[in-house]
Structure 1
Amino acid sequence: MFYEIKLKVEKENGKGEKKEVIEHFITDVELFAEAEAKGLEQYNGDCDVFSITRSNVVEIVNEKEEDKPFYKATLIDIFIDDNGNEKETKYYNLVCAKDITEANRLMQEHMRQGLNDMRLDGIVKTKIIDLI
């Protein structure tokens, strides 16, 4: 299960002033306590775990690369229920890419690997900076 973690950390800005910022991470652990431990480990305990939430992300498509952000892709699976009604189920994936065009290309390639019956509904840039 993926958890999104927000950490408050003190960072130095371009002017040399210390500012408190919130950084977003994602982690793949079983329990909230494990997510908190991973967050604190990121800055050797020199941070405040501001928030931990269960993520709706079900898969991370590729490895995180330096200087490339994560994008969240929404996939829709359309099926017919027992009453003959059309239903939709949404799934969310993270993909690391330099821009939205590359994210779209990577998701199309990923979907060709057995997700042909799904539709790519949208891609948005996230604030998540790394997988920990």
Structure 2
Amino acid sequence: MRIIRNIVIENEDVVIDNTWFEHCRLNHCRLIYRASDDWGFEHCLLEMCQFIFDYDAGQALLKLRAMNQSEGNELKPYHDYMLGQVDSYPISGVLNKQPKAIKLTIDFIRKIYEFHPAYMADVFNFIAGGSPEIAEQKD
């Protein structure tokens, strides 16, 4: 895993997969998540950043959105987990049945929600049927 320490990044597209950020400040950046690997922020400040769910992460968001729109509220256990209302144990069996990108994306949403809830408002809006530009499609 790549480690980035003690820097300021401004107005850049930053792929966060496979990267651990320590004591960094990110200003007006597009933070691109692809659901390909682990990542982390420790003692970081994010200011006016936008999260972009790219490649497999974008597809995972589309699947979560479809689950939300299906009958029977398929998304409820995931939603409760993402908001920290249940720990991982009750839904671990459910998560294990999903593709890796879904699991990584759900864990990503939960970690960011715990770190800074306001950043995930657009994500929950998208899953609920709204249309923010957070899921990019690649050919």
TM-score category (smaller protein): under 0.3
Relative contact order, higher structure (CA 8 A, sep 6+): 1
TM-score normalised to the size of structure 1? 0.25
Q: More strand per residue: 1 or 2?
A: 1
**Which structure has the larger Rg?**
1
Normalised TM-score (structure 2):
0.24
The structure whose residues are more often helix, as a share, is 2
